[in-house]
Chains A and B, each alone.
Chain A
Amino acid sequence: MTGSNRLSIVAAVLVWLARAGPVWARGPRGPGPADWIGIELEAVMFYLLGGLAAVCAVGCVLSSRVVRMALFLFGALGAVAGLYLLLHANFLAAIQLIVYAGGTLVVIIFGIMLSSASAAARYRARPAEKAAGAAVGLLLLAGLVTAVGRIDWSEGIAAAPSAPTVDGLGRALLTTYLVPFELSSVLLLAVMIGAAWLAGSGRK
């Protein structure tokens, strides 16, 4: 078989593929892969991230190893940050990563490492703690269900008029919500002073 023969066969196959290719790519307005799969990618991502958050939250509650609990908490926080991204709340997602995943969680793990004697530290909740946790959880669930139930889903949810920008958030914090913002700063300052006093009081 000569080279040109082979080339012509390849060309024929390619042309055949082009003519008999996927039907939904042709036509004046044929069905697209979106119809073919049936759901949008955003929905897929929502279910994935939501499922991950739920699984991690359950794992955090059920696990008895403290470090694994922290890891599950990290998974849940990260998945919620992903949900924020899906809602176009980019700033909130980034702050969630910095404050909770990068800051608070590291401090938690650091605390576990310093306080527990064994590397495989286990934690078993007492019945009273379980009851208190269940009560708070049920209360939250009830609140969420009420909030979701109040919305009229029949007409669909309109997209947010515009995503909140960093600019807008900053302005709101320094104008409308100035007092709560400053109050929370004072609270944080008090916490910092208290922590410094606690850490320093051991030393003479």
Chain B
Amino acid sequence: MTEFTAQDVIRPRWSPALRARAIRRFMLAGLIIMIGTGVAAVCLEIFGRSLSPLWLTVGIVLPSVLAFGALFVVFAITAHALLGRLLKRLAFVLFIGSLAGIVLTAWGASLLFGLVDRIVAARPDPIAQTIFGGELTTDEIVRFFAATPEDPKALEAPPALEFVAYLLWPWQFRLLRDLVLALVILGFVSVTASFAIWWERKVAGRIQSRLGPMRVGGWHGWAQGIADGLKLVQKEDIVPGRADGPVFRLAPYLVFIPVLTAFLALPFSDRWVLRDLEVGLVLVLGLLGIDVIGVILAGWASHNKWSMYGALRVAAQMVSYEIPMGMALLLPVMAAGTLRPGAIGALQSGGFHTWLAFCSPFLFAAAGVYFVASLAACKRAPFDLPEAESELTGGFHTEYSGFRWAVFFFGEYAAMFVVCGLAVLLFLGAWHSPLPASWGESLAGGSWWQRGLYALLFSGPAWFIAKTYALLFVHIWLRWTLPRIRIDQVMYACVQVMLPMTMLLLLGQMFWQLLVPPDGITARAANIVCTLAGAAIVAAFVGTAGWGYLNRRRLVGPLAVNHLPGS
């Protein structure tokens, strides 16, 4: 008895060998018919015989059409093969290109802006950079490059240098810099969303012993997110007849734009931040609060009872959970003594045990409370009642399709990244690795590869993104593990459990900071216990995952087993 394997099921019916054989046969048939018809026509011409219209049709016209048809089929098959490969390449280039583009643009931009800043600083009379005022002239840029120690006022420069000066000149304007960086952030959000869509479907598949997307793009269906996006953009643009048109059209953007704006104050590292505002945290929280309005208006404007129920649930749930979420955020703010995201991140550079979540038992509990509240604020399971498919068909986005629906989902994944990023920033060491940054001080000021090593080992945007993605994975994991809870349970959990708990935690942290000396034995012991608990949670997660991987053969269904990595 043979066993079905994944290869049997998903083997494409149209293999390259089959395609080549079909192309050869159709081409041969077309050529034979063409040559035969041509020879027949020439023979008729030579012997001076005329044909009746019937024989002309059957003998000459029909074979010609057939021959052209056969050659057209060959052309179509070839074009399909080429186009498919081209599209695959294109998707790959798009994905990798946008990823590399984002990183390179951010890096190049920081180098470029630093260079221009140095040119500005090198002027004899320093000037303030304005948003829109051109103060630095190209001659000064040329002089900056052409100047030598012997001749500090040299103006003789090759024409290429003059051209470079014109290229550098616009970058003294903040407006232009911000435009470039805003595009970088938009690109990052797009890549995150399209990656998270694929990841979500893949994780869901694994958890349910399915394969998930396997076809688009080849390797484990990695291009599924891009394909979904392209599909949604092509769909028909529908606004229901009785809907409140302008509000219906506006609502998705009210969800997406505030979340995008929240990246303004979200630091990826001490230098990779658009604006390190003094009130950055409050601003991010306020912007996250706005997208409730977009969701409510979407449900309201659809003029549909499912949408309406979804909107009511959103209003009740998100507004309630904002309170425990905001109050849980107050604890690390209290411990750090500032609302500036950069300063809070810089506090946690001393290694794993200095991450704020491990500094006191109250902060440790607050991290958990914040994470649960952030699940509810993003409308993620088990709090996904606003869009409960089984009861409300789609909740607030029942009537949406095409591009606007895609905008809702981009907004949701971007909001997930922002709330996870806030958790990482406030509780989990921001952009620092578990190793103390002081160990790498000799690397930090070294050559470029030493600085790169420092960014990879000790602190850098890569750590922030990696930790945020790890939390994003927990979001996805919980969604496919936990059942949805009822709306009364949602409200009970918020008002009667989490709200009193955060208040107690807030009071506890206050007394902790007032009464417990930071270098005393109590603080040290609490720090050690919390650090060990955190390490135990991480170890338990990694250990369970490893155990599951080693025992993957016990999973139900050969599909999943044969397609898990390493099998």
In contact, A42 and B286 (Cβ under 8 angstroms)? no
In contact, A67 and B244 (Cβ under 8 angstroms)? yes
Q: Identify the closest chain B residue to A81 (Cβ).
A: B286
In contact, A30 and B137 (Cβ under 8 angstroms)? yes
A87 at the interface (CB under 8 A from B): no
List of B residues within 8 angstroms of A25 by Cβ: 134, 137-138, 166, 169
Chain A interfacial residues counted at CB < 8 A: 48
Contact flag A95-B282 (CB < 8 Å), given A90-B277, A101-B290: yes
Interface of B (DSSP majority class): helix
Taken together as a complex, chains A and B put the C-alpha atoms of A29 and B127 apart, in Å, by: 13
B448 at the interface (CB under 8 A from A): no
Contact flag A107-B311 (CB < 8 Å), given A34-B130, A97-B283: no
Q: Mark B288-303, 1 if CB is under 8 A from A, else 0.
A: 0110110011001101
In contact, B290 and A166 (Cβ under 8 angstroms)? no
Taken together as a complex, chains A and B put the C-alpha atoms of A15 and B277 apart, in Å, by: 42
In contact, B131 and A41 (Cβ under 8 angstroms)? yes
A136 at the interface (CB under 8 A from B): no
B139 at the interface (CB under 8 A from A): yes
In contact, B286 and A101 (Cβ under 8 angstroms)? yes
A106 at the interface (CB under 8 A from B): yes
Q: Identify the closest chain B residue to A45 (Cβ).
A: B131
In contact, A106 and B315 (Cβ under 8 angstroms)? yes
In contact, B283 and A119 (Cβ under 8 angstroms)? no
In contact, B139 and A27 (Cβ under 8 angstroms)? yes
Taken together as a complex, chains A and B put the C-alpha atoms of A25 and B134 apart, in Å, by: 8
In contact, A19 and B162 (Cβ under 8 angstroms)? yes
A56 at the interface (CB under 8 A from B): no
List of A residues within 8 angstroms of B319 by Cβ: 103, 106-107, 110
Query: Could you tell me which residues of chain A, from 12 to 34, have a CB within 8 Å of some CB in chain B?
Result: 14-15, 17-19, 21, 24-30, 32-34
In contact, B159 and A101 (Cβ under 8 angstroms)? no
B308 at the interface (CB under 8 A from A): yes
Taken together as a complex, chains A and B put the C-alpha atoms of A14 and B163 apart, in Å, by: 7
Taken together as a complex, chains A and B put the C-alpha atoms of A53 and B99 apart, in Å, by: 39
Interface of A (DSSP majority class): helix
List of B residues within 8 angstroms of A32 by Cβ: 133-135
In contact, A166 and B278 (Cβ under 8 angstroms)? yes
A135 at the interface (CB under 8 A from B): no
Taken together as a complex, chains A and B put the C-alpha atoms of A183 and B250 apart, in Å, by: 40
Q: Identify the closest chain B residue to A92 (Cβ).
A: B279
Taken together as a complex, chains A and B put the C-alpha atoms of A32 and B339 apart, in Å, by: 38
B14 at the interface (CB under 8 A from A): no
Q: Mark B100-141, 1 if CB is under 8 A from A, else 0.
A: 000000000000000000000000000000111111011100
Taken together as a complex, chains A and B put the C-alpha atoms of A79 and B510 apart, in Å, by: 36
Contact flag A40-B139 (CB < 8 Å), given A94-B283, A106-B319: no
Chain B interfacial residues counted at CB < 8 A: 46
List of A residues within 8 angstroms of B283 by Cβ: 90, 93-94, 97
B86 at the interface (CB under 8 A from A): no
Query: Could you tell me which residues of chain B, from 311 to 342, have a CB within 8 Å of some CB in chain A?
Result: 311-312, 315-316, 319, 322, 326, 339
In contact, A98 and B286 (Cβ under 8 angstroms)? yes
Number of A-B contacts (CB under 8 A): 137
List of A residues within 8 angstroms of B315 by Cβ: 106, 109-110, 113
A91 at the interface (CB under 8 A from B): yes
Taken together as a complex, chains A and B put the C-alpha atoms of A97 and B293 apart, in Å, by: 12
B523 at the interface (CB under 8 A from A): no
Contact flag A106-B293 (CB < 8 Å), given A25-B169, A28-B139, A67-B244: yes
B285 at the interface (CB under 8 A from A): yes
Q: How far is the CB of B344 from chain A (nearest CB, A)?
A: 13
A130 at the interface (CB under 8 A from B): no
In contact, B163 and A67 (Cβ under 8 angstroms)? no
Taken together as a complex, chains A and B put the C-alpha atoms of A15 and B242 apart, in Å, by: 60
| Best-buried of A37, A78, A101 by chain B (most CB within 10 Å) | A101
Contact of A113 among B160, B175, B308 (CB under 8 A): B308
In contact, A103 and B289 (Cβ under 8 angstroms)? yes
B365 at the interface (CB under 8 A from A): no
Q: How far is the CB of B139 from chain A (nearest CB, A)?
A: 6
Taken together as a complex, chains A and B put the C-alpha atoms of A19 and B244 apart, in Å, by: 56
In contact, A18 and B290 (Cβ under 8 angstroms)? no
List of A residues within 8 angstroms of B300 by Cβ: 67, 109, 113, 119
B287 at the interface (CB under 8 A from A): yes
Contact flag A98-B282 (CB < 8 Å), given A25-B166, A71-B247: yes
List of A residues within 8 angstroms of B296 by Cβ: 106, 109-110, 113
List of B residues within 8 angstroms of A120 by Cβ: 244, 303
List of A residues within 8 angstroms of B162 by Cβ: 15, 18-19
Q: How far is the CB of A109 from chain B (nearest CB, A)?
A: 5
A105 at the interface (CB under 8 A from B): yes
Q: Identify the closest chain A residue to B299 (Cβ).
A: A113
In contact, A97 and B289 (Cβ under 8 angstroms)? yes
Taken together as a complex, chains A and B put the C-alpha atoms of A94 and B341 apart, in Å, by: 14
In contact, A15 and B308 (Cβ under 8 angstroms)? no
List of B residues within 8 angstroms of A90 by Cβ: 277-279, 283
Q: Identify the closest chain A residue to B162 (Cβ).
A: A18
In contact, B287 and A67 (Cβ under 8 angstroms)? no
List of A residues within 8 angstroms of B301 by Cβ: 67
* 29 cross-chain CB contacts under 8 A: A15-B160, A15-B163, A19-B159, A19-B162, A21-B166, A25-B134, A26-B138, A27-B139, A30-B137, A32-B135, A33-B132, A34-B130, A34-B132, A67-B247, A67-B297, A71-B297, A78-B290, A90-B279, A91-B282, A94-B283, A97-B287, A97-B290, A98-B285, A102-B293, A103-B322, A109-B297, A109-B315, A113-B308, A166-B279
Given A41-B175, A98-B285, A107-B319, 20 more A-B residue pairs with CB atoms under 8 Å apart are A15-B159, A17-B163, A21-B138, A25-B134, A25-B137, A26-B139, A27-B137, A28-B137, A34-B130, A34-B132, A40-B130, A42-B131, A67-B301, A68-B244, A90-B278, A101-B289, A106-B289, A110-B319, A113-B311, A166-B278
Which A residues form the contact surface with B (CB < 8 A)? 14-15, 17-19, 21, 24-30, 32-34, 37, 40-42, 65, 67-68, 71, 74, 78, 90-91, 93-98, 101-103, 105-107, 109-110, 113-114, 119-120, 165-166
Rank and list the top 5 A-B pairs by shortest CB-CB distance, nearest first: A102-B289, A32-B134, A97-B286, A34-B133, A94-B282
